[in-house]
Amino acid sequence: MIGHDDRAPGLWHAAGHEGAGIGLSAGTGKLLAQALAGQSPDLDLAPFAPARYGEQAPNSTTHREEATA
């Protein structure tokens, strides 16, 4: 997950690299810095966007209510 999270203004993610995190950290940092600076990142961040997980946060009240219903 790399990019801006529309659910929380000002929140940017750079996570989910698993065991490759140290090796990918420099590239991820560069992409995130480009995006934060308003530049076009060297790589399209759309496939890594937090929005791909949906509108609702996984620990929201609705999710808990559905789990207990």
User: What digits encode the pLDDT tens for the residues 50-60?
Assistant: 888 876 555 54
Torsion of CA 24, 27, 33, 36, to 10 degrees: -70
* Tokens standing for residue 34: 């480009």
The amino acid that residue 32 corresponds to is L
Can you give the pLDDT at residue 68? Answer: 47
Closest CA to 49 of 6, 10, 19: 6
Residue 63 structural domain: 2-68
Distance CA 24, CA 53 (A): 22
Q: Average model confidence (pLDDT) for the chain?
A: 81
Model pTM score = 0.67
Considering its fold, how many domains does the chain have in total? Answer: 1
Closest CA to 57 of 24, 13, 27: 13
Amino acid making up residue 35? A
